[in-house]
Structure 1
Amino acid sequence: MIREDYKNYMFNDSDFLPDDYKCADEEKAKLIKILVVMITSDMKMALSKIVPENNPEFWLIDRLLEKDEIRFMLSFKKKRTVKLTKYELAQRNNMTPDEAEAMAEKIAGIGLLEFDRDNSAHHKQYFVPQWVVGSGEYMMMNGKLLEKHPEVATFFNYASSVPVGKIAHMVPPGGGGIGMHVIPVEKAIEANSKAVSLEKLSYWLKKYDKICADICSCRRQQTIRGEGDGNVEDYYCLAVGDMAEYIVESHKDAHYITYDEAMEILQNAEEKGYVHQITNLDGEDKIVGICNCNTSTCNALRTSQLFNTPNLSASAYRAHVNPDNCVGCGKCVEICPVGAAKLGQKLCLKDGESQTYPLTELPDATKWGPEKWNKHFREDAKLHTYKTGTAPCKSACPAHIAVQGYIELAKQGRYDDAYKLIMQDNPLPAVCGAICNRRCEDECTRGTIDEAVAIDEIKKFVSLHALSHDNLYIPKCSNDIGKMWDDTYKVAIIGAGPAGLS
């Protein structure tokens, strides 16, 4: 059913249907095969028009649509880009306009039809979206649909990765209208006179009259499938203009919000280290939404890492470190969505020899295929430091406290800043300083020369110094979407000792 290349890391055995899966209705099966070719982004299938009945697209439509609904979608005359009003649909389907509208709205509610008002008269017009970006996301936003058909999550997992793998290596710099476009944190470029307005999130939000917040399809998919890193599904994503109207009015899990509310969501996302992405396929000076993506759950970021094709997550900007401001805290390493930043580079070995690090191979320079993919990208991206460099202390620490950073700040006498840095990862540093098992000191590279740095004592000193102040620093205590915790949130504490408290 699916190429062997994908089986080992994209799916579980329970995802696969029996090889002898057949539609019970022969006439319906013929109609489904025509509709699959109309919607699919798999060009090989579209050109050959051969659709096996155990194909994911086939069995999903078989489950979601009745035969008359499939015929209704086929009235678009096999052209996915055709946009029709309820009057045109009524004429093509021998219905009244009200009947055609009711049918179109029902299928739009599922997520297999979309509508907009992109015409001179501003009439609502319906069209057939592609699977991804398109129906896959819309179906995942429909909580009631997923209660009845949780297999949609497996389909979205498939549709957002497997077809892309066949063309990922051919995507040119800039994305070529495929995938997503990464937008930088606006604060980082607002003083840059060369920064174009299209690279600013505020530009896009002010451009449209409607904004909605909607459930993140990728996070919901990972939740249903038991994957990712436990990042909760919530209203992380934004839709604008006609897309906002479509998502809200077709009863997806979404609601309209104001510009200020949208900016608050973006700010909270930045604090969590999420990546702002806009769609890359909507034409010039036009988008349909803004995603705030977690690298462990985002399908768009996954494809670029999985297939080792960074052009799929294109950006017009590159990050640089200012050596004068860097204290080696490693926060950029933690947040970097693709694992590009690592601690311990450009340093000599303990015997004085220089150390070289491998450069990432790119599809522009060599033949690319499954043998070049990085099936273990999630694990690779979480490596904080090279073993041959410094800072294994941060990786050895169970809380991954920024050891190098707070030691450097303490060295400069910036004890309050050091305490704030520690508190980002450890809410009880004074307690930890008293009972810690000091794994960081066991790994300290200084210990291979004479004696490990007294990391834990420095942390305890910084913490006691902070506790002696009347205005003790207390970090913002927020949930995953940046809202303050309240009585509606429940927390389970495992163990009654200091570990449980921390």
Structure 2
Amino acid sequence: MRSVRSRWFQMLRKKIIRLAKLFNGKLSRYYQINGRSPEYQILANLLTDKQADVVLAAGLRKVRTVSALSRRSGYVTEDIVRISGELAQLGFFSSWVEDGVRKYYADAFVPATMMNVLTNEVTVANHPEVAELFDRYIARMDDMFPANRAVGTGMVRVIPAAASISDKNSSDSGEDGSNSEESVVSDYDKLSYYLDNASKLCVSSCACAVARRVECEGDGTIENGLCLHLDRQAEYYIETGRGREITRNEALRLLRRTDSIGLIHTLVNTYAKGKALTICTSSYSTCLGLRGAIDKGTFVSVASNFIAERKDGCVACGKCMSSCPTNAIRMSSRFSLIDVQSILSPMRKNERNDEGVDYRERFEECDRSGTAPCMAYCRLGMPVQAFLNLTEAGEYEKAYELMLENNPFPTITSLLCVCESESHCARGRIDEAVAIKDVERFLSAKCSADHPIPSTINSAGTVYDDKIAIVGSGAAGMSCAYFLAKMGYRPVIFEKDNIPGGALSKYVPIYRIDKSIVEQEFDKLEKMGVEIRCGINVGVDITAEELKKAGFGAFMLAIGMQDGKFADASGNDAEGIYSGMEYLRMLNRNEIEIHKGDVVVVGDGIVAFSLARSIARKGGNDVFLFTKCSRDEIDMELEELLNAETEGVEVNNEWVISEVLGTAGRVSAAVFKKVIRKKGYGNESLPEYDENDIRTVECSTLIYAVNQVIDWCGLDKQFGIEIDPKKNLPVIDFRTFETSVPGVFAGGDMAEGDFGVADSIKEGRICAESIHRYLRKGQNLKIARRKGKYVPINRDSINYQSVDYSPVQRVHAEYDKRYVNRRSFFFGKVVYSDDQAKAEASRCLDCSKISYDADRCIGCGQCSAKCPTSSFGMAKRSRKDVFSDGYESNMSSLIVSRVVSSKGKGRK
């Protein structure tokens, strides 16, 4: 009896094996094709034996006519016309008309045939397995290459972004500093050259993006309208419905759009010098042609004729780092260090091991030395050093533009952010920290009014028609709407109040932020296409199911903590006791008169301090603020605490309320016990009390600014979201901010509790990216997402003798006289003058610098194109141009050397 394996091999189709060997070319000598081979499975699944006969008759890279195919295959003309048309539609032939004669051409299996097959929507829909099979085929080829892969042996060749090799950014010097023998920028290094010489142009989907989408491994890069085809290939794509014809100007606009979002342009490496039929455009994590080089570290095999070159003027903004596809650029420290071993902060105790980690997940923002504490501790990851440097130089618009990259609302954060960047500033070890928030506010006041509205179309130049509902119009909802609009969506914000803004409008006192600032930000959102519907309580006025029926496909829940609970004390049923959020809202809207007598506020967060200061400013009352934590543990700026005390608030630390006393049904006093120590860690710590250390404070009003909670309005049950019972918050994935229900995301207070405006804006940005990936079919919510983890320099390890460490007095922003009056609600600080802003910005120690590894550079030019100060340019490499007669021939010799070295002999 024959074995199952023997019978299985008998079932293999001989013509398909022959065809697979034809496509593999010289590789067939080193790789045995069987039924598990990806190329065999692709061909067997898509082609009949007659179709295989015709491809075999055509041969590879031979232009054939119908008569030639008929003669070589033995099929009659009518059959050849039909079969060749089928092969052209499938993608195994490209076809065009030249001098009135129909021509056919079978190209290499990858990338040419792969592109043709995967851009056929019908084929991909009927045979989705071909995406994974092509992926496997390319991965196998990548594995065959030795580690010392040579120049020009990659499947594709990178072409630099147009802006990076302009006269402004290019240089005569080569990689080794010598002059290039050829001109700085050859015609064939410019994409415009290929467009100028093309008789016809068309645009199509990106085949690699299609493959990633089918495999559910997309990184959010849309596949439609990315790749350009020229001349006969354009004619073929238009004729078979794979692409649409475009003009040269449309093609240039497409290239500019894709450059702006950091996509990389490549040419197939089999083209002769100055020739191209396809210009591929994709991201580093999508392109299968770049994968092997990035994964294996053989960067030079796909590199362009250029290499990035450092110039003067770097402000360490990190835009080059975040745009570099190969992680050749990282943030670093410019300081000499007292103890090299103390470089790493506790955030990075363990050395990273990349073994077995997907190449798309290996990106690191910093090298071992760390980077500026201001950038590392900024909740939004803003390039603080960069905008300080640019402010000092008077480049205000550039500085403001840098802030907007991660923070669309600096007018708000410059007033309300806790600003850990400032509290961890290295300058604070010398004299006083740089006044980062005051400089940020200066830039916002200077530039925000005249700054143009950002582009709100996607990379294909269109707008998505997906409907997205954002529930809540606070900082998280605003941020999510902003970034979705930038990506080409038109989200709808639902706000249950009649005024948008959430806590910014209802709870933040006017002396901290002028309400006109919030109104201006919403005006900007509306100009970007965001719809704002006020007076609708989602969950009550309209249910989640009704929103789904209305066509909403994704949801972002940004409901704030607007309800409060009383502390666990006896006597809380007396009149004159309020929750902090309720009282603050009524106070800000003049809906309540403060009762005569002293006021006690219980709490240690920003709500408690806002209440205490607001009541003090209203006038006539003595205000007592009791916190559970110590003075050093209060989670806010020291300035807020000092201002409260200056305005007459008596701050009492480490006290817990135990009892409320009442007279005639109204609160008359509050009894507190002293906290002596705490068990546990952080916010979960449990206090112990001194039962003999009791304090009784008379009062007519008691306000609890503790235990703020979310009012779900039934949405948790309507969506079916899993809730953490201890926190009353949704269970979410903190990398994507998706809840337990696919398509429902949460940010702001709903994600981590009341963590502040900066956290809310960051989470809104993350939710926007996740929603985009969720709505685009086949995109993975986690793959290739930059984590933005900047490791701070250990300030204690800095050798301050290595820099100009002379003390320089901080420029303190003045307060308006009306604000200084503790009985006033007038809004606040006076903005710096130009001279003051420059003087304060000049105090920055410039902790960061850029670390660049030229060996990893593939010459894509993204760093140069993105650099706001032109401190990265592109230099011609000091070797011959990267043009290959065909990567298969080069690859064959490489594989021979690998086989010989691994087996001790070649295959006979």
TM-score (norm. length: structure 1): 0.80
Select 1:501's aligned residue among 478, 484, 495.
478
Q: Determine if contact 2:333/2:372 at 8 Å carries over to the other structure.
A: no
Q: Distance in 1 between matches of 2:455 and 2:371?
A: 32
What aligned pairs does 1:28-427 form with structure 2 within 5 A after superposition?
29-40=13-24, 43=27, 46-47=28-29, 50-76=32-58, 79-115=59-95, 123-167=101-145, 169=147, 171-173=149-151, 175-176=152-153, 178-191=154-167, 194-252=184-242, 254-324=243-313, 326-344=314-332, 347-349=335-337, 375-381=357-363, 383-391=364-372, 393-394=374-375, 397=378, 399-427=380-408
How far does residue 265 in structure 1 lie from its aligned partner after superposition?
0.7
Look up the match of 1:483: 461
Change beyond 3 A, Cα 1:23–1:196: farther
Letter in 2 for 1:29: R
Letter in 1 for 2:201: I
Q: Distance in 1 between matches of 2:49 and 2:131?
A: 23
Q: Distance in 2 between matches of 1:22 and 1:291?
A: 43
Give the stretch that moved more between structures: 412-421 or 391-400.
391-400
Q: Distance in 1 between matches of 2:424 and 2:48?
A: 62
Q: Distance in 2 between matches of 1:320 and 1:477?
A: 30
Q: Determine if contact 1:168/1:307 at 8 Å carries over to the other structure.
A: no
Q: Distance in 1 between matches of 2:110 and 2:432?
A: 55
How far does residue 124 in structure 1 lie from its aligned partner after superposition?
3.3
Letter in 1 for 2:327: G
Q: Which whole-Å deviations, capped at 9, do the CAs of 1:322-356 have from their partners, x for residues lacking one?
A: 223x222111111111111112155422559999x
Letter in 2 for 1:479: I
SS in 1 for 2:104: strand
Letter in 1 for 2:222: V
Q: Which whole-Å deviations, capped at 9, do the CAs of 1:240-263 have from their partners, x for residues lacking one?
A: 1112122222332x1111111111
SS in 2 for 1:306: helix
Change beyond 3 A, Cα 1:384–1:350: farther
Q: State the structure with bigger RCO (CA 8 A, min sep 6), 1 or 2.
A: 2
SS in 1 for 2:303: strand
How far does residue 49 in structure 1 lie from its aligned partner after superposition?
7.2
SS in 1 for 2:254: helix
Change beyond 3 A, Cα 1:87–1:298: same
SS in 2 for 1:160: helix
How far does residue 25 in structure 1 lie from its aligned partner after superposition?
10
Q: Determine if contact 1:223/1:232 at 8 Å carries over to the other structure.
A: no
Q: Distance in 2 between matches of 1:137 and 1:239?
A: 11
Q: Distance in 2 between matches of 1:214 and 1:298?
A: 15
TM-score (norm. length: structure 2): 0.46
Give the stretch that moved more between structures: 33-42 or 147-156.
33-42
Q: Determine if contact 1:429/1:459 at 8 Å carries over to the other structure.
A: yes
Look up the match of 2:535: none
Q: Distance in 2 between matches of 1:21 and 1:315?
A: 47
SS in 2 for 1:319: strand
Q: Determine if contact 2:65/2:101 at 8 Å carries over to the other structure.
A: yes
Q: Distance in 1 between matches of 2:33 and 2:16?
A: 9
Letter in 1 for 2:280: C
Letter in 1 for 2:273: E
Q: Distance in 2 between matches of 1:24 and 1:351?
A: 66
Q: Distance in 2 between matches of 1:345 and 1:53?
A: 54
How far does residue 66 in structure 1 lie from its aligned partner after superposition?
2.1
How far does residue 65 in structure 1 lie from its aligned partner after superposition?
1.6
SS in 2 for 1:290: strand
Q: Determine if contact 1:444/1:453 at 8 Å carries over to the other structure.
A: yes
How far does residue 166 in structure 1 lie from its aligned partner after superposition?
0.6
Letter in 1 for 2:320: C
Letter in 2 for 1:83: V
Q: Distance in 2 between matches of 1:474 and 1:22?
A: 70
Q: Distance in 2 between matches of 1:21 and 1:233?
A: 40
Q: Distance in 1 between matches of 2:101 and 2:341?
A: 70
Q: Distance in 2 between matches of 1:314 and 1:141?
A: 26
Change beyond 3 A, Cα 1:200–1:352: same
How far does residue 393 in structure 1 lie from its aligned partner after superposition?
4.3
How far does residue 306 in structure 1 lie from its aligned partner after superposition?
0.5
How far does residue 454 in structure 1 lie from its aligned partner after superposition?
4.5
Change beyond 3 A, Cα 1:240–1:251: same
How far does residue 105 in structure 1 lie from its aligned partner after superposition?
1.5
Q: Distance in 2 between matches of 1:63 and 1:172?
A: 35
Q: Which whole-Å deviations, capped at 9, do the CAs of 1:156-177 have from their partners, x for residues lacking one?
A: 222232212212535322x14x
Change beyond 3 A, Cα 1:314–1:416: closer
Change beyond 3 A, Cα 1:53–1:389: same
Give the stretch that moved more between structures: 408-417 or 277-286.
408-417
Change beyond 3 A, Cα 1:446–1:397: same
Report the aligned-residue RMSD.
3.3
Q: Which whole-Å deviations, capped at 9, do the CAs of 1:379-414 have from their partners, x for residues lacking one?
A: 333x22224132354455554333221122233343
How far does residue 110 in structure 1 lie from its aligned partner after superposition?
1.2
Q: Determine if contact 1:349/1:388 at 8 Å carries over to the other structure.
A: no
Q: Distance in 1 between matches of 2:408 and 2:221?
A: 20
Q: Distance in 1 between matches of 2:373 and 2:460?
A: 31
Q: Distance in 2 between matches of 1:482 and 1:449?
A: 51
How far does residue 433 in structure 1 lie from its aligned partner after superposition?
3.4
What aligned pairs does 1:463-474 form with structure 2 within 5 A after superposition?
463-467=444-448, 469=449, 472-474=450-452
How far does residue 47 in structure 1 lie from its aligned partner after superposition?
1.5
Letter in 1 for 2:206: C
Q: Distance in 2 between matches of 1:232 and 1:449?
A: 49
Letter in 1 for 2:77: P
How far does residue 141 in structure 1 lie from its aligned partner after superposition?
0.8
Change beyond 3 A, Cα 1:116–1:165: farther
Letter in 2 for 1:497: G
Q: Which whole-Å deviations, capped at 9, do the CAs of 1:166-196 have from their partners, x for residues lacking one?
A: 12535322x14x4222222334334365321
SS in 2 for 1:115: strand
Q: Distance in 1 between matches of 2:436 and 2:26?
A: 55
Aligned-residue sequence identity (percent) comes to 27
Q: Distance in 2 between matches of 1:227 and 1:29?
A: 32
Change beyond 3 A, Cα 1:248–1:22: farther
How far does residue 152 in structure 1 lie from its aligned partner after superposition?
1.6
Q: Determine if contact 2:12/2:35 at 8 Å carries over to the other structure.
A: no
Change beyond 3 A, Cα 1:482–1:70: closer
Letter in 2 for 1:501: M
